Structure 1
């Protein structure tokens, strides 16, 4: 989990090369950076599943990402070179991961496979 936690900290702090920094400052949805963020979020959910007490910085990051990305990219002039379904699926994934992280379980029936986006 250390690697995922390191990735999440860098993403949530919007350091150079992070998905969030590129999204906010360059108006670029970097697919590779999104995948890195999504996989780290998924790993954190697995690691903390069913546990009481969550690291505050991580909880704040999950909350912010699940809201900010949808709000920022909702602007009609935000560049969307991919099909609309891709962005819809990504936003749904962020909501699902935040839900899983905060509840301690995901809403899907097992066995569930999280498809790549």
Structure 2
């Protein structure tokens, strides 16, 4: 499962590239993580349930990515607005996951970042 691999920071994951030796913001990796998080939100909203590993992963991702990439020495992706939009997206997805609904008026389309 893509989401579990991302949250566990396995080889090739966005989370590993971000915090590993390379300190790289992998755009394709972020897209993969974001889409997996979005699918998990849809899944948990439909079933009104989620697994603990998912909750832990959403919590960790929503805090870690912002904290880690906000360090002045982290090579943040450019343009700056893209980076800020990505951080907001992770926050929005974590909010959706924990509340069971997102805060946008339907119909809402999640634009690609």
Task: Give the aligned CA root-mean-square deviation in angstroms.
Answer: 1.0
Structure 1 stretches lacking a partner, 5+ long: 1-5
Structure 1 runs (4+) deviating above 6 angstroms are: none
Structure 1 residue matching 2:49: 3-state secondary structure: coil
Q: Which position in structure 2 is the counterpart of 1:3?
A: none
Q: Which position in structure 2 is the counterpart of 1:37?
A: 33
Count of aligned pairs between the two proteins: 112
1:76 and 2:62 matched: no
Q: Which position in structure 1 is the counterpart of 2:2?
A: 7
Structure 2 stretches lacking a partner, 5+ long: none
TM-score normalised by the chain length of structure 1: 0.92
Q: Which position in structure 2 is the counterpart of 1:115?
A: 111
TM-score normalised by the chain length of structure 2: 0.95
- On the 8 A contact 1:69/1:91 being kept in 2, the answer is yes
Q: Which position in structure 2 is the counterpart of 1:89?
A: 85
- On the 8 A contact 1:51/1:104 being kept in 2, the answer is no
